[in-house]
């Protein structure tokens, strides 16, 4: 059985939770599973993490990986983002991550209800 990639997000962040919902809507193959980044990296909840088998992607690399796996036109966006040097992508990611609560609202628990708060095996 093929393992599903797991996307770990800050489940207390409005932007992160909405992003998880957006991924779910665009995930035609229903390949992604979700969990709380607090369970994985409690000291760094600013990072989105994608675990795909033995590979772990964080920050902008995780975003590129998600877009790539969504396929279709999202794959083109992944290629365009990947063409941007990682240091620039990660700097932009860090700016948004640092200010996400100011720009998108205060923390609140809103991970999709049917998803676990921690890692789930299938």
Residue 42 covered by a domain: yes
Residue ranges of the chain whose pLDDT lies below 70: 1-2, 41-46, 106-122
The reply to whether 51 falls in a domain is yes
* Residue 46: closest CA among 7, 89, 5, 96: 96
The domain of 79 spans: 6-104
**34 domain residue, yes or no:** yes
SS3 57: strand
**pTM of the model as a whole:** 0.79
Residue 74 lies in a domain: yes
Residue reference for tokens 């609560």: 101
Structural domain contains residue 117: no
Could you tell me which of 43, 81, 39 has the C-alpha nearest to residue 62?
Answer: 81
Residue 37 counted as domain residue: yes
pLDDT tens for 70-86 read 988 999 999 999 999 99
Start-to-end Cα distance in the chain: 8
Domain count, the chain: 1
Place of tokens 């948004």: 96
Task: Please check whether residue 61 lies inside any domain of the structure.
Answer: yes
Domain membership of residue 39 (yes or no) is yes
């Amino acid at each position: 059985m093929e393992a599903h990639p797991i996307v770990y997000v800050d489940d207390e962040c409005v932007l992160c939770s909405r992003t998880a919902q957006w991924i779910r809507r665009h995930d035609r193959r229903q390949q992604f599973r979700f969990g709380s980044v607090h369970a994985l990296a409690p000291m760094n909840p600013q990072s989105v993490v994608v675990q795909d088998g033995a590979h772990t992607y964080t920050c902008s690399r995780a975003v590129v990986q998600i877009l790539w796996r969504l396929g279709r036109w999202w794959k083109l966006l992944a290629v365009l983002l990947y063409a941007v040097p990682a240091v620039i992508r990660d700097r932009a990611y860090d700016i948004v991550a640092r200010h996400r609560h100011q720009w998108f609202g205060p923390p609140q628990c809103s991970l999709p209800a049917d998803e676990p708060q921690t890692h789930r095996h299938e």
